[in-house]
Amino acid sequence: MTSTEAATIVSGVPYGITVVGGRAPTALTDFVGPVSIEVRGATGSHEVHGTGVAHDGGVVRLYQKDHAGTGKDVRVWSISSGADGFVAVG
């Protein structure tokens, strides 16, 4: 993800997660550890790289990094599951 792409994501708006690690997500544990996800929302599709950490309450916090997951922190996403699948809010 480039810095320009990071700027096009709207903070506080939910994005549906379509892909995690190259496949469809099936459980919140799919987002724990080093991970790459694709989110889709009002500003289109975006690839997000970072590290996910499980938290109480059925939430994973994904600490997004720039430069394919190896650079500085860009934002923190809250990932949860619901009736419509998995959602990320950054």
Q: Give 11-27 pLDDT, tens digit per residue.
A: 999 999 999 999 999 99
Rounded to whole angstroms, the Cα distance separating 59 from 51 reads 14
Q: Are 77 and 62 in contact (CB under 8 A)?
A: yes
Residues forming beta bridges with residue 75, ordered by sequence position = 64
For the chain, give every domain's residue range: 3-89
User: How far from 68 is each of 13, 51, 72, 87, CA to CA, in Å?
Assistant: 22, 11, 10, 21
Residue 29 has what pLDDT?
96
pTM: 0.85
pLDDT band at 41 (very low <50, low <70, confident <90, very high): very high
Q: Are 48 and 64 in contact (CB under 8 A)?
A: yes
> At residue 42, what is the residue type?
A
Q: Give 44-57 pLDDT, tens digit per residue.
A: 999 999 999 999 88
Residues of the chain above pLDDT 70, percent: 88
